[in-house]
Amino acid sequence: MSLRERLASGGFAVTAEISPPRGAGTEPITAAAALLRDWVDAVNVTDNQGSNARLASWAGSLAAMAAGLEPVMQMTCRDRNRIALQSDLLGASALGIRNVLVMTGDHPKFGDHPEAKPVFDLDSVQLLWTLRHMRDQGALLSGRALNPPPDCFLGAVENPFAPPAGFRADRLAKKVEAGAQFVQTQFVFDVEAFGRWMAQVRDLGLAEKCYILAGVGAVRSRRALDFMRDKVPGVQVPDDVYRRLRAVPADQTAAEGTRLAAETVQQLSTIDGVAGVHLLVAGNEQAVPGILDGAGVRVDPDGR
Amino acid sequence: MTARPPIPAHPRLGTRLAYRLQRVLRPRPGLRWLGAMVEASGLARPLFTGAERQAKQNLFGCRMCGQCALPVTGYVCPMGCPKELRNGPCGGVGADGSCEVYPGLRCVWVEAYERAVSQGRVADLRLLHRPIDHRRWGESSWLNYWQGRDEGLWTGGAGDTGDNGPVAADRPGLTLGGS
């Protein structure tokens, strides 16, 4: 069952995330896919995440497909102009990649090439709009016709916790208007704050127009916890979560992080309008079974 | 093309005054005539554009993209966003409303939202902005505005039905369905 079918059927969808390697091989993707295959509906393949150069997301997506795992190809606006972005969608669609997740992308300043030219020719709303136009109108931004047009299931991201709080649901509404069919959120550590955002999302009628997958991560070390709190743009770790993960001995942070993630998934699954979860576990794929088991949410590998 | 890098700028013009000025500068026959005269003159055009550059740089940190979004962004320039986002803030805004790239500066969209709220103009921020035309950097956006060349910049503008999706209605030189 594809991600799209899972969501359409009303089942609780689970996606995870794979970071392509820094190198010209696909073995790490094959290995991660083997760990995830029986547990998730699809896996995001990141696009030079954190502005660090890595194997291309389209290539990683093909490798995941070859390993029996449906990919969600991430696409950022940071490195390519409108010509390259449209070209990449055509290539991805031609090779069977259906799910495309659109995001603005981190600024180059945060990565391993801070001197690079930030492109940002389109923003994420404009890119979603462009891809939908290519699919539904069969035409490029130039007006030229596409034969055949691409086939794609379009995703967006949103951060429910970043200011301005009053505008975050409206921002998702813009993305849905532009073409987003599903959305994956930033890390949810504060379930109550997420619930307040979801109430706004439901009030705007967005839960009926767009599948909402809440982002959940498993913290695996104290270093990762500090990094997430202090260094990752847009992530907010509430004090009680921080204290809870610091309260256990350092060698048990990973186990406690998995327990916390499982509890979060379970709580999120009861919120009206939440269609699934997106597990932000790149590099920590082995945590996925523990999270889903603990939450009582398991994707039937046979798709029933 | 882009003379200065994008850096978030705090507008020096109060929100209410900005919207009042908007009513004065709205396209009308007199201004359209004036704009046409200025455009036709090899001397007046660069002088006018230079004066606009001076005024808007001081007031809004304008970078002369030539396709002004200020009327629907609470008069905070979105081209000061390091990612040049015209459709709202990115997900990296700090909890205190700071820009992720320049932590000492406020996110232009946080400020745009506050200013729009203060004047009951939040609906403006919900409009979809089309991709801009990078050939227009350095042009006078006032002249473009008065001549109606800006009407397709975002949805909901005069005569904009949204039927053409993200494609600018006045896109020159190409027609739909070409090969």
Please report which confidence band the pLDDT of residue B171 belongs to, taking 50, 70 and 90 as the band edges: low
Global pTM value: 0.95
Structural domain of A48: 3-295
- Check if A303 contacts B (Cβ < 8 Å): no
Beta bridge partners of B129: B154
Strands A13-18 and A274-280: parallel
Distance CA B111, CA B10 (A): 8
- Chain B residue with the nearest C-alpha to that of A129: B166
pLDDT at B173 over 90: no
Percent of chain A scoring above 90 in pLDDT:
92
pLDDT digits (tens, 9 = 90+) for B136-151: 999 999 999 999 888 8
Residue B157 within a domain: no
Q: Which of residues 69-98 of A touch B (CB under 8 A)?
A: 77-78, 82
Q: How far does B100 lie from chain A, in Å, by closest CA?
A: 6
CATH number assigned to the domain comprising residue A135 = 3.20.20.220
Residue A304 within a domain: no
| Residue A27, SS3 per DSSP | helix
Please report which confidence band the pLDDT of residue A167 belongs to, taking 50, 70 and 90 as the band edges: very high
Residue A112 within a domain: yes
Interface contact A129-B128, CB threshold 8 A: yes
Q: Cβ distance B63 to B6 under 8 Å?
A: yes
| Mean pLDDT score of chain A | 95
| Mean per-residue pLDDT, B32-36 | 95
Residues of B with CB under 8 A from a CB of A: 82-97, 100-101, 107, 109-110, 113-114, 117, 122, 125-126, 128-131, 134, 165-167, 171, 174-179
Q: What is the ipTM of this complex?
A: 0.93
Neighbours of B50 (CB within 10 A): 11
Residues in chain B closer than 8 A to A77 (CB atoms): 83
Q: How far does A124 lie from chain B, in Å, by closest CA?
A: 8
Interface contact A143-B83, CB threshold 8 A: no
Interface contact B128-A178, CB threshold 8 A: yes
Q: How far does B69 lie from chain A, in Å, by closest CA?
A: 15
Residues in chain B closer than 8 A to A242 (CB atoms): none
pLDDT at B179 over 60: no
How many structural domains are present in chain B? 1
Quick one: which of B66, B96, B94 has its CA closest to B79? B66
pLDDT digits (tens, 9 = 90+) for A117-126: 999 999 999 9
Interface contact A174-B113, CB threshold 8 A: no
Q: How far does B25 lie from chain A, in Å, by closest CA?
A: 28
> Regarding predicted confidence, which is higher, A164 or B162?
A164
Cα dist from A176 to A121, A158, A209, B24, B57, whole Å = 20, 11, 7, 35, 34
E strand or H helix that includes residue A274: strand A274-280
Count of alpha carbons within 13 angstroms of residue A133, beta-carbon side: 24
Choose the mutation target among B2, B127, B154, B167 for the interface with A, i.e. most A CBs under 10 Å: B167
pLDDT at A268 over 60: yes
Nearest to A104 among B83, B167, B176 (CB): B83
Residues in chain A closer than 8 A to B95 (CB atoms): 161-163, 236
| Mean per-residue pLDDT, B91-101 | 94
- Check if A166 contacts B (Cβ < 8 Å): yes
Distance CA A166, CA A197 (A): 9
Helix-strand-coil split of chain A, %, nearest 5: 45, 15, 40
Percent of chain A scoring above 70 in pLDDT:
98
Q: In chain A, count of helices (H) and strands (E)?
A: 12, 8
pLDDT digits (tens, 9 = 90+) for A30-43: 999 999 999 999 99
Structure-block tokens of residue A241: 């979560």
Interface contact B91-A186, CB threshold 8 A: yes
| Mean per-residue pLDDT, A249-259 | 95
| Mean pLDDT score of chain B | 90
Q: Which of residues 116-135 of A touch B (CB under 8 A)?
A: 118, 120-126, 129-130, 132-133
Residues in chain A closer than 8 A to B83 (CB atoms): 77-78, 104-105, 107, 118, 120, 123
Structural domain of B58: 15-146
Distance CA A151, CA A3 (A): 14
For chain B, give the number of residues: 179
- A248-287: b (≥16 Cβ within 10 Å) or e: eeeeebbebbbbbbbebbbbbbebeebbbbbbbbbebbeb
Please report which confidence band the pLDDT of residue A184 belongs to, taking 50, 70 and 90 as the band edges: very high
Which residues 6+ apart lie within 8 Å of A240 measured at CB? none
Residue A94 within a domain: yes
Interface contact B92-A233, CB threshold 8 A: yes
Residue A109 within a domain: yes
| Mean per-residue pLDDT, B82-93 | 97
How many structural domains are present in chain A? 1
Amino acid letter for position A159: N
Which residues 6+ apart lie within 8 Å of B163 measured at CB? none
pLDDT at A174 over 90: yes
Residue A170 within a domain: yes
pLDDT at B172 over 80: no
